[in-house]
């Protein structure tokens, strides 16, 4: 039986279905392996494997398939080539009609929901309390937010977890200092993000200085750690002040990043404190973890660290303290058993990949992870400076994230301002666009390279109007919107009876691929593939615009059909960019 093709199926899908139906019975589950191609619109290579299986001559089999293909509306031409490939050209009518069906599908643009969608808990944007955020935290936030947008759109239920670093022995020092110098932190409600961070920094530096020079203070700080761990009320209240103050700062950065972060999803390391003793007990009882020199550890034969030495995962230290691993193992239990996650996704620096490898393996041995519940770390690479070394200020310090974002916005605003007069933007619009372009530039630069690679933070390149940048895409979008405004065309209709010019076909077939490309990029957790799709869309649009007059086309219906292509391109661009967390101003 031929597969059921949904109303908004792409040309690609319809063609794949028609081919599958024409394959011989033995090939019922065979994949025609249909791909876009330079020689025709599509090429199908699947017959080769099928012929091999059936011990048939591939060219003959291919010829039989061609004779059996019946869908006359879809196919303009099929020919057998090479050892048994099929080169397929589709009709102009099929392209336009299919696009029209997608265009009629509102906000979803014909993109199907994933029938196997589950629940993904995504761990991203996890800075550390009382510490400045750095470019690494930026990557986690940007990549995580984009993945979440993509997953949501394909029907996955997503739950965010911002596993902030809000626990550890450093709090003994910080809290003790605050007790002895009570006025150094203003109440969280009285400060903005910048003041909050500057206060925290001062406390951090000052307490560190006393800690390093004063043995008696060091001892008091150590006792404070014990008080914190045993839940002493006064100590916990002061700890909470550090957390609250830090959140004021985090939120200010996320807001600058134009990113929504929900308070109920900020669930830091400390949130798992109550679960940790039980986690340790379960691990020890099952024998997954063993006592070694007083500590509770998990050993792995297959996981080796530096110098090829086996590295154990420390669940509990000999002094009874729990650390990062215990918190992550407890978080897995919580996410799987209480949040019912089917997928755990971590967007964390690739330098922590060994930690996650061990944590995941331990969780698998415990059965918390299994074939139905899987975990992945989208380990991302390092942000490099123009010199190719890890990004630092000239003085060798970590670059402050807000400074970086402010500079991006400043540069972008200058770019926007240059064209502003010509299109009559108000000052308020210039400021707003500058922000969207600047923040978009930073996000896009991050998202357009595959996450595991290092990338250079180069503001000149990021805000350049030419090349693979968000500004280029944003300008493409704004240009289309301006044409649509000029034509006063709210929702231009498609004209499937018209012949298409080569640039129209190329644009049309690329638009056709949106659903599949987005689905693949999402399944592979690869925002850079969506970015690449969008960049190519904008490039194909530019060629179309150069070669095919829109408002001055030959006939009114050709104008309308081209406006239809403009409209669908704009809607696809803005949808794709918004999934990546990037805005597309209407006038730029
Ligand atoms: N706060 C950590 C850091 O800044 C990242 C946390 C990652 N998430 C986790 N579940 N361990 O390095």
β strands within 177-294, DSSP E? 290-292
Q: What percent of the chain has pLDDT over 70?
A: 98
The Cα–Cα gap between 5 and 23 comes to: 17
Q: Is the CB of 163 under 6 A from ligand 1?
A: yes
Task: State pLDDT tens for residues 434-453.
Answer: 999 999 999 999 999 999 99
Our mutation pick for probing the ligand 1 site, out of 135, 139, 140, 163, counting the most ligand atoms within 8 A of Cβ, is: 163
Ligand 1 center to residue 376 CA distance, Å?
A: 14
How many angstroms is it from 126 CA to the middle of ligand 1? Answer: 6
Cα of 345 from ligand 1 centre, angstroms = 12
Distance in Å, CA 579 to ligand 1 centroid: 24
User: Confidence band (pLDDT; 50, 70, 90) for 49?
Assistant: confident
Higher-confidence position of 23 and 147? 147
pLDDT recorded at residue 333: 98
- 328 CB within 6 A, ligand 1: yes
pLDDT at 27 over 80: no
The mean pLDDT of 103-107, rounded to a whole number, is 94
CB 165 near ligand 1, within 6 Å: yes
Number of the ligand 1 atom closest to the C-alpha atom of 164: 1
Q: Whose CA is nearest to atom 4 of ligand 1?
A: 127
Give 554-569 pLDDT, tens digit per residue: 999 999 999 999 999 9
At 395 the pLDDT is: 75
Residue 340 is predicted with a pLDDT of 98
Ligand 1 centroid distance, CA of 165 (Å)? 7
CB 334 near ligand 1, within 6 Å: no
Q: From the alpha carbon of 128, which atom of ligand 1 is closest?
A: 1
Q: Where are the domains of the chain?
A: 11-90, 118-161+268-380, 168-261, 401-579
379 Cβ inside 6 Å of ligand 1 = no
What's the CA dihedral at 100, 102, 104, 107 to 10 degrees? Answer: -150
Please indicate whether residue 140, judged by its CB atom, sits closer than 6 Å to ligand 1. no
502 CA distance to ligand 1 middle (Å): 50
Distance 344 CA to ligand 1 centre (A): 14
Q: How far is the CA of 47 from the centre of ligand 1 (A)?
A: 48
Q: How far apart are the first and last CA of the chain?
A: 51
C-alpha 123 – ligand 1 centre gap (Å) = 8
Q: Compute the distance from residue 328 Cα to the ligand 1 centre, in Å.
A: 9
* 184 against 176, higher pLDDT: 176
Protein residue closest via CA to atom 5 of ligand 1: 126
Residue nearest to atom 9 of ligand 1 (CA): 163
Mean per-residue pLDDT, 239-264 = 97
pLDDT for the residue 7 = 58
Pocket test for ligand 1, best of 122, 126, 350, 401 (most atoms within 8 A of CB): 126
User: Residue 496's pLDDT band (boundaries 50, 70, 90)?
Assistant: very high
What digits encode the pLDDT tens for the residues 319-368? 999 999 999 999 999 999 999 999 999 999 999 999 999 999 999 999 99
Res. 67 pLDDT band, cuts 50 70 90: confident
Which residue puts its alpha carbon closest to atom 8 of ligand 1? Answer: 163
> What was the pLDDT predicted at 71?
66
Q: Is 123 in the pocket of ligand 1 (CB under 6 A)?
A: yes
Extract the runs of DSSP E, i.e. beta strands, from 192-283.
none
Residue of 247, 267, 352, 359 to mutate, ligand 1, most atoms within 8 A of C-beta: 352
Q: At what angle do helices 502-512 and 92-103 cross, to 10 degrees?
A: 50
11-90 is classed in which CATH architecture?
Answer: 2-Layer Sandwich (3.30)
Is the shortest distance between the CB of 512 and ligand 1 below 6 Å? no
Bridge partners (DSSP) of residue 119 are 157
Average pLDDT in the 376-380 region?
A: 96
- Phi first, then psi: give them for residue 136, nearest 5 degrees: -65, -40
Quote the crossing angle between the two packed helices 514-523 and 502-512, to the nearest 10°.
40
* 8 A C-beta contact, residue 374 and residue 407: no
Mean local confidence (pLDDT), 19-39: 80
pLDDT at residue number 301: 86
CA of 165, closest atom in ligand 1: 1
Residue 144 Cβ contacting ligand 1 at under 6 Å: no
Distance of alpha carbon 198 from alpha carbon 248, whole angstroms: 12
With a cut of 50, say whether residue 1 has pLDDT above it.
no
- Ligand 1 proximity of 471 Cβ (cutoff 6 Å): no
The arithmetic mean of pLDDT across residues 30-39, rounded, is: 87
Instruction: Kindly give the distance from the C-alpha atom of residue 139 to the centroid of ligand 1, in angstroms, as a whole number.
Output: 12
Q: Is 517 exposed, middle or buried (0-12, 13-18, 19+ CB in 10 A)?
A: buried
Q: Does ligand 1 have an atom closer than 6 angstroms to the CB of 560? A: no
Nearest residue to 531 via CA among 436, 416, 451: 451
132 pocket-lining for ligand 1 (C-beta < 6 Å)? no
Q: Give the closest residue to 19 by CA, choosing from 80, 110, 100.
A: 80
Please tell me the distance between residue 575's alpha carbon and the centre of ligand 1 in angstroms: 30
Query: Would you say residue 505 has pLDDT above 90?
Result: yes
Instruction: Give residue 125 CA to ligand 1 midpoint distance, Å.
Output: 8
Q: How far is the CA of 334 from the centre of ligand 1 (A)?
A: 16
- Is-contact 471 464, C-beta < 8 A? yes
Position 94 scores a pLDDT of: 96
Q: Which residues contact 510 (CB under 8 A, 6 or more apart)?
A: 533, 536, 537, 540
Length of the chain: 588
Average pLDDT, the chain: 93
Ligand 1 centre to CA of 297 (Å) is 20
Q: What are phi and psi of 514, to 5 degrees?
A: -55, -50
Nearest residue to 175 (alpha-carbon basis) of 242, 89, 226 = 242
| Residue 525 Cα to ligand 1 middle (Å) | 19
Report pLDDT digits (tens) over 267-315.
999 999 999 999 999 999 999 999 999 999 999 988 887 778 788 999 9
Determine the pLDDT at residue 400.
Answer: 82
Checking if the pLDDT of 245 tops 80, the result is: yes
Decide if pLDDT at 3 tops 50. no
- Per the DSSP assignment, residues forming a β-bridge with 519 are none
Q: For residue 218, which of 208, 230, 229 has the smallest C-alpha distance? A: 208
Going by CATH, does the domain composed of 118-161+268-380 fall within 3.40.50.620? yes
Second-level CATH architecture of 401-579? Orthogonal Bundle (1.10)
The pLDDT of residue 26 is 62
């Amino acid at each position: 039986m031929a597969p059921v093709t949904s109303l908004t199926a792409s040309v690609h899908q319809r063609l794949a279905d028609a081919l599958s139906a024409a394959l011989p019975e033995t090939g019922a589950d065979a994949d025609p392996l249909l791909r876009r191609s330079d020689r025709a619109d599509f090429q199908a290579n699947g017959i080769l494997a099928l012929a091999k299986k059936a011990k048939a001559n591939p060219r003959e089999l291919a010829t039989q398939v061609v004779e059996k293909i019946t869908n006359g509306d879809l196919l303009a031409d099929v020919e057998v080539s090479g050892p048994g490939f099929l080169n397929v050209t589709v009709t102009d009518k099929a392209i336009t009609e299919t696009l029209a069906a997608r265009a009629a599908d509102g906000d979803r643009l014909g993109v199907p929901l994933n029938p196997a969608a589950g629940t993904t808990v995504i761990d991203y944007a996890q800075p550390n309390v009382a510490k400045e955020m750095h470019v690494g935290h930026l990557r986690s936030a940007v990549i995580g937010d984009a993945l979440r947008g993509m997953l949501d759109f394909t029907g996955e239920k997503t739950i965010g977890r911002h596993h902030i670093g809000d626990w550890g022995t450093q709090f003994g020092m910080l809290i003790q200092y605050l007790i002895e110098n009570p006025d150094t932190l203003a109440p969280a409600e009285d400060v903005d993000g910048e003041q909050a961070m500057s206060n925290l920094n001062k406390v951090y530096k000052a307490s560190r200085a006393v800690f390093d020079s004063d043995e008696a203070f060091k001892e008091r700080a150590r006792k404070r750690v014990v008080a914190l761990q045993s839940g002493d009320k006064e100590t916990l209240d002061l700890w909470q002040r550090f957390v609250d103050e830090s959140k004021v700062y985090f939120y200010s950065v996320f807001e600058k990043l134009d990113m929504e972060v929900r308070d109920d999803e900020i669930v830091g390391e400390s949130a798992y404190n109550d679960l940790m003793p039980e986690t340790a007990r379960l691990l020890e009882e099952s024998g997954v973890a063993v006592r070694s020199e007083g500590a509770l550890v998990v050993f792995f034969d297959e996981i080796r660290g530096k110098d090829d030495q086996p590295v154990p995962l420390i669940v509990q230290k000999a002094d009874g303290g729990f650390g990062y691993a215990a918190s992550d193992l407890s978080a897995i239990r919580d996410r799987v058993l209480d949040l019912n996650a089917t997928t755990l996704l971590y967007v964390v620096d690739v330098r922590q990949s060994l930690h996650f490898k061990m944590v995941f393996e331990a969780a698998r041995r415990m059965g918390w992870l299994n074939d139905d519940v899987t975990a992945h770390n989208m380990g991302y690479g390092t942000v490099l400076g123009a010199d190719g070394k890890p990004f630092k200020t000239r003085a060798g310090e970590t670059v402050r994230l807000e400074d970086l974002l402010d500079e991006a916005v400043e540069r972008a605003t200058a770019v926007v301002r240059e064209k502003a007069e010509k299109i009559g933007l108000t000052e308020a619009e210039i400021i707003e666009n500058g922000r969207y372009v600047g923040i978009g530039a930073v996000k896009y630069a991050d998202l357009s390279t595959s996450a595991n690679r290092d990338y250079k933070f180069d503001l000149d390149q990021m805000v350049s109007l030419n090349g693979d940048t968000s500004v280029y895409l944003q300008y493409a979008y704004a240009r289309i919107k301006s044409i649509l405004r000029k034509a006063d065309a709210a929702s231009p209709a498609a004209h499937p009876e018209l012949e298409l010019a080569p640039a129209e076909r190329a644009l049309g077939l690329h638009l056709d691929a949106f659903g599949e490309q987005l689905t693949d990029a999402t399944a592979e957790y690869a925002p850079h593939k969506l970015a690449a799709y969008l960049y190519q869309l904008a490039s194909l649009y530019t060629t179309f615009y150069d070669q095919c007059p829109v408002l001055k086309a030959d006939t009114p219906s050709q104008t309308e059909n081209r406006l239809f292509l403009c409209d669908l391109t704009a809607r696809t661009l803005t949808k794709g960019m918004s999934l990546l967390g990037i805005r597309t101003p209407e006038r730029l």
